[in-house]
A and B are shown apart, each in its own frame.
Chain A
Amino acid sequence: MSIRKKILICDDEEGVRESLKLILEDDYDLAFASTGIEVIDNLKKEPIDLIMLDIKMPKMNGLETLRELKNVSPKTKVVIVSGYRSVEAANEAIKSGASDYMVKPFDTDQILKTLNKILQ
Chain B
Amino acid sequence: MNWYGIVQLTNGIFSFFIGIFVLTRDVKNKIYRLFSIFCFFISIWCVSYSLWCLQAEVKPALFWFKMLIFGAIFIHTFYLHFALLLLDKIRELKYILFFSYAISILFAILDFTPFLIVNFNQAKFSFKFWPDANLLMSSFIFIEVFIAYYTGYLFYREYRATSDYSRKNQMKYLFILTFLGFSGGFTNWFYWYDIPISPFGNVLVTVYLSLTTYAILKHHLLDIDLVIRKGLIYSVLVTIISIAYLLLVFASETIFRGFMGYKSIPWTLSIILLFAILFQPLKSKIQYFVDRIFFKKTTQEMEQENIRLREELQRSEKLKAVGTLAAGMAHEIKNPLTSIKTFTEYLPKKYNDKKFIDKFQRIVSSEVDKINDIVGQLLDFAKPKPLDLKDWNIQNLLDETLDFLSNDLIKHKIKVIKNYTVLNPTIRIDPRQIKQAILNIILNAIDAMKNKGGQLMVFLHKDSEQYKIGIEDTGCGINRKDLPHLFDPFYSTKDTNTGLGLSIVHGIIEKHNGRIEVENALGKGTKFTIYLPKISP
List residues of A whose CB falls within 8 A of some B CB: 13-16, 18-20, 22-23, 55-59, 61, 63, 82-84, 86, 88-89, 92, 103-106, 108
**Chain B residue nearest in CB terms to A103:** B334
| Residues A15 and B336 in contact in the complex (CB < 8 Å), given A22-B342, A57-B403 | yes
Interface contact A22-B407, CB-CB below 8 Å:
no
Interface contact B339-A19, CB-CB below 8 Å:
yes
Interface contact B331-A83, CB-CB below 8 Å:
yes
Interface contact B334-A104, CB-CB below 8 Å:
yes
Chain B residues, CB < 8 A from A86:
407, 411
Interface contact A55-B338, CB-CB below 8 Å:
no
- Alpha-carbon distance A58/B400, docked complex (angstroms): 7
Chain B residues, CB < 8 A from A13:
335, 339
A-B contact count (CB 8 A): 77
- Alpha-carbon distance A16/B467, docked complex (angstroms): 36
Would you list which residues of chain B between 321 and 345 have a CB under 8 Å from chain A?
331-332, 334-339, 341-343, 345
Chain A residues, CB < 8 A from B410:
55, 61, 63, 89, 92
Task: Select which of B332, B345, B363, B406 is within 8 A of A14 by beta carbon.
Answer: B363
- Alpha-carbon distance A55/B405, docked complex (angstroms): 11
Task: Select which of B337, B339, B342, B407 is within 8 A of A55 by beta carbon.
Answer: B407
Interface contact B343-A105, CB-CB below 8 Å:
no
Interface contact B346-A104, CB-CB below 8 Å:
no
- Alpha-carbon distance A92/B410, docked complex (angstroms): 8
Interface contact A105-B403, CB-CB below 8 Å:
no
Interface contact A19-B399, CB-CB below 8 Å:
no
- Alpha-carbon distance A22/B364, docked complex (angstroms): 14
Q: Is residue B359 within 8 Å, beta carbon to beta carbon, of the partner chain?
A: yes
Q: Is residue B253 within 8 Å, beta carbon to beta carbon, of the partner chain?
A: no
Q: Is residue B366 within 8 Å, beta carbon to beta carbon, of the partner chain?
A: yes
Chain A residues, CB < 8 A from B341:
19, 105-106
Chain A residues, CB < 8 A from B346:
22
- Alpha-carbon distance A61/B414, docked complex (angstroms): 13
Interface contact A15-B407, CB-CB below 8 Å:
no
Interface contact A106-B406, CB-CB below 8 Å:
no
A selection of 10 A-B contacts at a CB cut-off of 8 Å is: A15-B336, A15-B339, A18-B359, A19-B342, A22-B342, A22-B346, A61-B406, A83-B331, A88-B411, A104-B335
**Chain B residue nearest in CB terms to A83:** B334
Chain B residues, CB < 8 A from A58:
399-400, 403
Nearest chain B CB to A106 CB, angstrom units: 6
Q: A15-B366, A16-B335, A19-B341 are in contact. List 13 more A-B contacts (CB 8 A).
A: A13-B335, A16-B338, A18-B363, A19-B339, A19-B343, A55-B407, A55-B410, A56-B406, A82-B407, A103-B334, A104-B334, A104-B335, A105-B341
Nearest chain A CB to B147 CB, angstrom units: 48
Chain A residues, CB < 8 A from B367:
15
- Alpha-carbon distance A63/B415, docked complex (angstroms): 12
Would you list which residues of chain B between 10 and 34 have a CB under 8 Å from chain A?
none
**Chain A residue nearest in CB terms to B336:** A15
| Residues A15 and B338 in contact in the complex (CB < 8 Å), given A22-B346, A83-B331 | yes
- Alpha-carbon distance A31/B403, docked complex (angstroms): 24
